[in-house]
Amino acid sequence: MKKTIEDVNVQGKKVLVRVDFNVPMDKETGTKITDENRILGALPTIKYLVDHKAAVILCSHMGKPHNVFNDTLKLNKKEKAKIDALPAQEQEAATAAALEKAKKDVKKLSLAPVAARLSELLGQEVIMAKDVIGPDAQAKAAALQPGQVMVLENLRFHAEEEKNDPAFAKALAGYAELYVNDAFGTAHRAHASTAGVADYLPAVSGYLIEKELKFMGGALENPQRPFVAILGGAKVSSKIGVITNLIDKVDALVIGGGMAYTFAKAQGGSVGDSLLEEDKIELSREIMEKAQAKGVKFLLPIDTVIADDFSNDANSKVVPTGEIPAGWQGMDIGPETQKLFAETIKGAKTVVWNGPMGVFEFPNFAKGTIAVAEALAQADCISIVGGGDSAAAVTQLGFADKISHISTGGGASLEFLEGKTLPGVAALNDK
Ligand code: AMP
């Protein structure tokens, strides 16, 4: 078990908190936040620290400002290649224009608008530093009083952040007496602010990471049974790690989405023009054999909605999975499969779901994904939805409050379900 903010004394202490303020911004202005859920998610931890009279120094990354590091403007490789391909006499002007644009784009990745919104949400002043480890941040952090909140500028304005540079981590740690990590979305990365900083400070989790560990860790270590995993999405290859780890733990493995056709092919079925990973057919067969040997129920779609074109308005019909004709492709699980999967969810005590059941971006092929989300919302079980597409689907459908836990990290939750150690979690102190 990892220590949380409630296991340590924070009163009167300077606390460095790694949050996930990587919120989507309006592309044009770069000042309007288009989805503030991640700021809302960080509030319980921030409020706890403020209420307990800590001086709170928040840090986060925002976007990918890879063309400006340490105030030195550099063009990224793609941009540079474009300019190199121009006639020699045009290159100088093109470089200047590209640098000017890069400067503007990078300004759009400032955390200042987030600090302003946070101030409204907290109902108190939030101090914004102009830099990360520069003189402005240092002076503001030194002057910060208990109960006050400040935000450092975008961590990724420094290349050292993602390189987990020890001097950069030490400089961040120098602001504080305690480190709190509450950014699960970057916990699978060993960066200076997610891992390195814990070499210099006592390190505990905030409420968001605590909840991720409680639900996902609980399901993996000691699930209430029957334990069912539902996996979907485009490719077998991106979920192999999860399947291999979960097959030793679950009572039933349910497969939907584009990855189902490689399994259907492995069973000898015809999949027409559906998504197929030829080089994973053999592996899919082995997985099914392993499931059988272990007594793990392995459920593939029994019927499939197919289309004659990859578009929302394509002609469509329902056929048994494994009988998809040439010229047609699987787009969603069929109605019989919806019922089968819903019944399986109903009988479960723990369900982990990751990946859509079909091309849910097209409303005509979203029914299977909606049916699974609905069944999960109605089920009397511990329901855990991995980040990414399935989390977005559940939230958009308005089922979020009926799910026990929706992970805040796409890549991180996948790696967690693969059984990997997340550097941002490993760095925290044990109870
Ligand atoms: P992933 O990122 O691997 O979870 O995959 C999510 C993507 O899988 C979504 O964009 C879906 O549109 C896509 N997907 C799901 N089912 C299918 C399918 N039957 N054919 C093509 N793409 C699919």
Based on the residue annotation, tell me whether 64 is a catalytic residue of this protein: no
Bridge partners, 84 (sequence order): none
Pocket of ligand 1 contains residue 334 by CB under 6 Å: no
Total domains in the fold of the chain: 3
Pocket of ligand 1 contains residue 301 by CB under 6 Å: no
- Residue 161 belongs to domain with CATH number: 3.40.50.1260
- Segments of the chain scoring below 70 in pLDDT: 66-74
Ligand 1 midpoint to CA 267 (Å): 21
Beta strands in 117-239 (DSSP E): 126-128, 149-151, 178-181, 203-205, 227-231
Phi, psi angle pair for 256, to nearest 5°: -135, -170
Last residue of a domain, one of 163, 183, 208: 208
Question: How much is the pLDDT for 105?
Answer: 78
For residues 96 and 152, membership in a common domain is answered with no
Calpha distance 113→121 (Å, rounded)? 13
Task: Confirm whether 10 is domain-assigned.
Answer: yes
Calpha distance 241→249 (Å, rounded)? 13
Task: Confirm whether 191 is domain-assigned.
Answer: yes
Q: Which of 30, 269, 322, 388 is catalytic?
A: 388
For residues 204 and 263, membership in a common domain is answered with no
Calpha distance 173→192 (Å, rounded)? 10
Domain that holds residue 95: 73-105
Question: How much is the pLDDT for 82?
Answer: 87
For residues 258 and 179, membership in a common domain is answered with no
For residues 159 and 280, membership in a common domain is answered with no
254's tokens:
């349910």
Residue nearest to atom 6 of ligand 1 (CA): 233
Task: Confirm whether 41 is domain-assigned.
Answer: yes
For residues 126 and 147, membership in a common domain is answered with yes
Based on the residue annotation, tell me whether 174 is a catalytic residue of this protein: no
* Ligand 1 atom index nearest CA of 234: 8
Based on the residue annotation, tell me whether 235 is a catalytic residue of this protein: yes
Question: How much is the pLDDT for 314?
Answer: 98
**Is 303 strand, coil or helix?**
strand
Task: Confirm whether 422 is domain-assigned.
Answer: no
User: Is 49 within 8 Å of 208 (Cβ atoms)?
Assistant: no
Last residue of a domain, one of 151, 175, 208: 208
* Ligand 1 atom index nearest CA of 232: 4
Ligand 1 midpoint to CA 389 (Å): 9
Pocket of ligand 1 contains residue 233 by CB under 6 Å: yes
For residues 167 and 292, membership in a common domain is answered with no
For residues 145 and 79, membership in a common domain is answered with no
Calpha distance 224→381 (Å, rounded)? 9
Calpha distance 87→78 (Å, rounded)? 17
Ligand 1 midpoint to CA 87 (Å): 42
52's tokens:
């307990």
Which spans in 112-217 are helix H?
112-122, 135-143, 159-162, 166-173, 207-212
For residues 374 and 360, membership in a common domain is answered with yes
Last residue of a domain, one of 168, 185, 208: 208
Calpha distance 213→221 (Å, rounded)? 11
For residues 237 and 332, membership in a common domain is answered with yes
For residues 306 and 162, membership in a common domain is answered with no
Based on the residue annotation, tell me whether 18 is a catalytic residue of this protein: no
Task: Confirm whether 357 is domain-assigned.
Answer: yes
With 0.85 as the threshold, say if the pTM is over it.
yes
Ligand 1 midpoint to CA 355 (Å): 8
Ligand 1 midpoint to CA 109 (Å): 30
- Collect all residues with Cβ–Cβ distance below 8 Å to 205 and sequence separation of at least 6: 2, 3, 4, 5, 180, 181, 182, 213, 425, 428
Residue nearest to atom 2 of ligand 1 (CA): 233
Candidates 359, 362, 394, 415: which one to mutate for ligand 1, based on the most atoms within 8 Å of Cβ?
359
Task: Confirm whether 257 is domain-assigned.
Answer: yes
